[in-house]
């Protein structure tokens, strides 16, 4: 049965216009809104904070060194120093299921444990402030559990007096965690920024309720170097792909492939700009992944075009492209869909930067399949709009069955 030939060439112009409109929409977004650069690409602070009630407090009055070593299933009190017996007291949350049980079980000489909050709260919910030393002293070390009834808008309002601050909620309602991002000037240190955020939140919600979960700070020199190297990496990647495609196929094939890759990158950036996705090194990795994935799909199509140049007799190059795209259509769709299964699963069951990575991949995979079929082929068709197929000398070979025509070569 003869394979059905789809008229892809009829969609080249509408698809080209559609892509130009979307890319222009992205350029407008870039001019008016800019890219939501992550901390990797601009100097500043990213701090994850929780606003939680104090469940209990620990203090120590003695000559030894007592350190709290917390982990998911419990915590240890490590006693060390000269003149004392070095030992580790382990307190498992499974053995002491409530905060009250845990506080009552602590029996290290010199260590005082005082219940401050709801004693019936689950001990497994206990967490510490990462910005505070875990070495016990006369000053109390707070143990936290649960979360205050504070929303992301409350945190934004509390930090509204600080410049260049963005806040988003990255936790659940029962485990509310707020990511605070603050842009730094060249002479500001990470500690100063962190102190500003902590003190401002403390004035609004109470100083002892502010818990720092994680803090990252990137200096201006590092962020500028990383941004410059990322641009160089992208340009070098496209240049190498251009050289490979030009050597393997033809200059106009190579140009069509590069235009399709640039199209995919610009479509991804349009999505990133308008959804305000944070552009980090993880998202950059997704963009580079799509560049490699898309060129693989395009090369398969171009290879079929080159093969059909020698095998098919056609009246126009657009007809040759229709035939070649029809030959590779099922392969392109099946490859993209099966890859999407894994990426969609990654998006649904992950959080944070991996979720952004998978979402960018989803957009890039769809754009890559679309550009390989319509954008790359449309530009190649445009470059060869005056193309004519020429045939060489034919010979007739006669045998008992009939006459067989052999084409000595096709000039393309």
Give the model confidence (pLDDT) of 316-342 as tens digits: 777 888 888 888 888 888 989 999 999
145 forms beta bridges with none
Residue 395 has pLDDT above 60, yes or no: no
Distance CA 218, CA 281 (A): 13
Asked whether 394 and 407 are in contact (CB, 8 A), the reply is: yes
Of the chain, the percentage scoring pLDDT greater than 90 comes to 26
Give the model confidence (pLDDT) of 132-157 as tens digits: 889 999 999 999 988 888 888 888 89
Question: In which element (H, E) is residue 286 found?
Answer: helix 281-311
Distance CA 372, CA 5 (A): 17
Could you count the other beta carbons within 10 Å of the beta carbon of residue 318? 22
Give the model confidence (pLDDT) of 119-132 as tens digits: 888 988 888 998 88
Residue 29 has pLDDT above 80, yes or no: yes
What integer is the mean pLDDT of 5-18? Answer: 84
> pLDDT averaged over the chain?
82
Q: How confident is the model at residue 68 (pLDDT cuts 50, 70, 90)?
A: very high
Q: Tell me which of 408 and 209 has the higher pLDDT.
A: 209
Distance CA 171, CA 214 (A): 13
Q: What is the pLDDT of residue 151?
A: 86
Q: What is the pLDDT of residue 85?
A: 80
Q: What is the pLDDT of residue 266?
A: 93
Quote the pTM value: 0.62
Lowest mean pLDDT among 32-41, 101-110, 250-259: 32-41
Strands (E), 36-121: 44-51, 54-60, 65-71, 74-80, 87-92, 111-115
Asked whether 390 and 411 are in contact (CB, 8 A), the reply is: yes
Ramachandran area for residue 44 (φ above 0: left; ψ -120 to 50: alpha; else beta): left
Nearest CA among 145, 149, 142 for reference residue 122 = 145
How long is the chain? Answer: 412
Distance CA 8, CA 263 (A): 18
């Amino acid at each position: 049965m003869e394979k059905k030939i789809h008229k892809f060439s009829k969609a080249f112009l509408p698809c080209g216009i559609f892509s130009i409109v979307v890319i222009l929409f992205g350029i407008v977004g870039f001019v008016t809104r800019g890219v939501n650069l992550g901390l990797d690409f601009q100097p500043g602070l990213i701090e994850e904070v929780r606003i939680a009630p104090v469940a209990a407090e620990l203090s120590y009055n003695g000559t030894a060194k007592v350190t709290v070593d917390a982990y998911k299933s419990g915590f240890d009190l490590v006693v060390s120093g000269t003149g004392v017996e070095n030992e580790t007291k382990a307190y498992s949350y499974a053995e002491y299921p409530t905060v009250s049980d845990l506080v009552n079980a602590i029996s290290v000489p010199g260590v005082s444990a005082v219940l401050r909050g709801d004693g019936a709260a689950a001990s497994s919910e206990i967490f510490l402030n990462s910005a505070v030393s875990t070495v016990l002293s006369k000053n109390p070390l707070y143990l936290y559990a649960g979360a205050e009834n504070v929303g992301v808008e409350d945190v934004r309002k509390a930090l509204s007096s600080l410049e260049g601050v963005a806040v988003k909620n990255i936790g659940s309602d029962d485990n509310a965690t707020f990511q605070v991002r603050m842009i730094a000037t060249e002479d500001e240190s990470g500690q100063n920024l962190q102190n500003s955020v902590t003190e401002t939140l403390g004035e609004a919600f109470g100083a002892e309720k502010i818990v720092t979960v994680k803090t990252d700070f990137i200096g201006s020199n590092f962020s500028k170097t990383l941004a410059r190297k990322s641009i160089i990496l992208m340009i070098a990647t496209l240049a190498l792909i251009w050289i490979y495609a030009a050597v393997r196929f033809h200059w106009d094939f190579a140009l069509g492939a590069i235009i399709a890759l640039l199209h995919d990158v610009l479509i991804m950036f349009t999505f990133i700009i308008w959804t305000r996705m944070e552009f980090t090194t993880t998202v950059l990795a997704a963009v580079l992944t799509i560049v490699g994935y898309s060129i693989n799909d395009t090369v398969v199509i171009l290879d079929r075009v080159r093969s059909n140049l020698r095998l098919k007799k056609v009246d126009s190059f657009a007809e040759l492209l229709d035939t070649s795209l029809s030959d590779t259509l099922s392969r392109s769709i099946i490859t993209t869909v099966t890859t999407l299964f894994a990426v969609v699963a990654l998006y649904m069951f992950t959080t944070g930067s991996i979720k952004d990575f998978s979402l960018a991949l989803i957009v890039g995979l769809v754009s890559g399949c679309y550009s390989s079929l319509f954008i790359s082929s449309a530009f190649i068709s445009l470059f060869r709009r005056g193309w004519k197929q020429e045939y060489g000398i034919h010979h007739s070979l006669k045998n008992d069955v009939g006459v067989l025509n052999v084409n000595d070569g096709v000039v393309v």
